[in-house]
Amino acid sequence: MDFQAIIGGEERLQAAVAGRDARFDGWVFLAVTSTRIYCRPSCPAVKPKREHQRFYPSAAAAQEAGYRACKRCRPDASPGSPAWDWRTDVCARAMRLIGEGVVDREGAAGLADRLGYSLRQLERLLISEVGAGPAALARAQRAQVARTLIESTDLPMGEVAFAAGFASIRAFNRVVADVYACSPTELRSKAAGRNASGGGAITLRLAYREPFEPSNLFGHLAAAAAPGVEEWQGGAYRRTLRLPHGPGTASLRPGPGYIECRLRVADLRDVTAAVARCRRALDLDADPHAPAEALTADPVLAPLVEKTPGRRVPRKADGPEYAIRAVIGQQIATASAATIAAGLAERYGEAVDDPDGGLRRLFPAPETLAAADPAHLPMPGKRKATVLALAAALAEGRVDVGPGADWARTREQLAAVPGVGPWTIEMIAMRALGDPDAFPVKDLGVIKGARHLDLGAGRVLEARSQAWRPWRAYAVQYLWASSEHPTNHLPTEKEASTE
């Protein structure tokens, strides 16, 4: 797929640059042949003549072509391309896995193996689509993570290089110099308002596209939090993370134009994966204008979208965890499901140190739950059997709910697990896979909201929803918000403590 076709062609790109349209940040990158610098379309600098402009679909492609990142608009730190958020083809799956740090841990060949392609095939696909191969894309990501840590923490440079995924200090120094035209030390000396990384914590700012409505997003995460695994504390959603090299914790708090992300990781190599999971949980790479355009075409939904623009889809940082918790939550209240999940974590989950709050456990890994005593599952017999069957399928790789999953295939895999029905499949697709078109048409909140808006239910609602595709998961947020759904506002500390 040609990225200019996605954006709307050369003329629309030129208009975006002329108008400094921030909606295109992360979608496309403007390179200037006269200065050898690449920028966001919204960069406030004087715009170059048209003959000096070149467009690239990724920061990595611009870097591969020999351009350096603009020091004013910081294009490498823009939100990720929303294309990888709503597409399910192999390039999108590859980009999501690269974002998780798979190339850093397993190499480009390991990424290709995960996707079922040869390395040469994958490189050809990515170069044609994104302008760079997997190694170059991972290199660009390492450079961006390094810059963020250099400028926002006081970590020693050796630890920054390690955390960003570089194999050596020499490679770290060379890439930073190539991409930013200065040394790591010079980058740090120019940074203002750096956050000290005291006590082993790393504080970062996660970018997103405006408009951004945090109420249903953080409201859901707080209301569904399993005590000990998650918590709402001091206006922040906090949770434990199962990362490739060990456990960690994340604290996410809405700020003015960004999300404050405070991480603690057992191994600095997990910073990239932790950031990717936090971004996914908060749907931060979404383009809020695309679903808004589709949903406002419906005269019933239009007033809701216009009243509260920028709603995101609350997702989960751990796909397997949510898949199991979706089964636990079948036909019971959100708070009851969270209590059961917390009990399983206390019994079977790995302990986690949390000097900042009350997090104690990771949610049990699928292989651990697959071997659990059914007597320890406080739920009806059929649901116990489904939890154990799904845990076994996840542990054995028969069901994939990770960032590189093929959404259609995962739906088929889930349907083969006894007791996993359409509601559970669509909730997993929405929360774990991040499918923006997931639509749990039989969800009670969806039915209540649709009836409140006189949209019908069942087949009538399903037919009506076809016009909302591929953004039906966003429509669900507005349907829930139209009724007295329990997760449509930011909770107070009292509310969070009594969920």
Angle, helices 169-180 vs 157-164, to 10°: value is 80
3-state secondary structure of 315: coil
Question: Tens digit of pLDDT for each residue in 316-363?
Answer: 999 999 999 999 999 899 999 999 999 999 999 999 999 999 999 999
- Which pLDDT does position 238 carry in this prediction? 98
Q: 68 or 485: whose pLDDT is higher?
A: 68
Determine contact, residues 129/419, Cβ cutoff 8 Å: no
User: How far is 61 from 95, CA to CA, in rounded Å?
Assistant: 13
Say if residue 8's pLDDT is above 90: no
- Which pLDDT does position 1 carry in this prediction? 43
Sheet containing strand 68-69, strands side by side: 53-56, 29-32, 37-39, 68-69
Place 496 in a pLDDT band, splitting at 50, 70 and 90.
very low
Classify residue 263 by its DSSP letter.
E
- 39 is a catalytic site residue: yes
Q: What pairs with residue 282 in β-bridges? A: none
Candidates 283, 285, 287, 443; catalytic one: 443
Across all residues in the chain, what is the average pLDDT? 91
User: How far is 431 from 186, CA to CA, in rounded Å?
Assistant: 41
The residue type of 268 is L
User: How far is 16 from 378, CA to CA, in rounded Å?
Assistant: 56
Question: Tens digit of pLDDT for each residue in 78-135?
Answer: 888 887 777 888 999 999 999 999 999 999 999 999 999 999 999 999 999 999 999 9
Angle, helices 90-99 vs 271-281, to 10°: value is 120
Q: The tokens 């930011």 sit on which residue?
A: 490
User: How far is 482 from 462, CA to CA, in rounded Å?
Assistant: 18
The CATH-assigned architecture of domain 84-152+155-190 is Orthogonal Bundle (1.10)
Question: Tens digit of pLDDT for each residue in 247-296?
Answer: 999 999 999 999 999 999 999 999 999 999 999 999 999 999 999 999 99
359: its two tokens: 């997090």
3-state secondary structure of 213: strand
Q: 493 or 360: whose pLDDT is higher?
A: 360
- 154 is a catalytic site residue: no
Q: 196 or 142: whose pLDDT is higher?
A: 142
Class of domain 3-78: alpha beta
Candidates 25, 39, 43, 437; catalytic one: 39
Domain positions in the chain are 3-78, 84-152+155-190, 194-499
Determine contact, residues 394/366, Cβ cutoff 8 Å: yes
User: How far is 345 from 182, CA to CA, in rounded Å?
Assistant: 47
User: Would you list the DSSP string of 60-72?
Assistant: HHHHHTTPEEPTT
Class of domain 194-499: mainly alpha
Place 365 in a pLDDT band, splitting at 50, 70 and 90.
very high
Determine contact, residues 283/312, Cβ cutoff 8 Å: yes
State whether the Cα torsion 490-493-498-499 is positive or negative.
positive
Q: Cα–Cα distances in Å, from 334 out to 33, 207, 328, 367, 370?
A: 55, 30, 10, 25, 23
In 236-379, DSSP assigns E strands to: 236-243, 246-254, 259-265
Place 36 in a pLDDT band, splitting at 50, 70 and 90.
very high
**CATH topology of 84-152+155-190 equal to that of 194-499?**
no
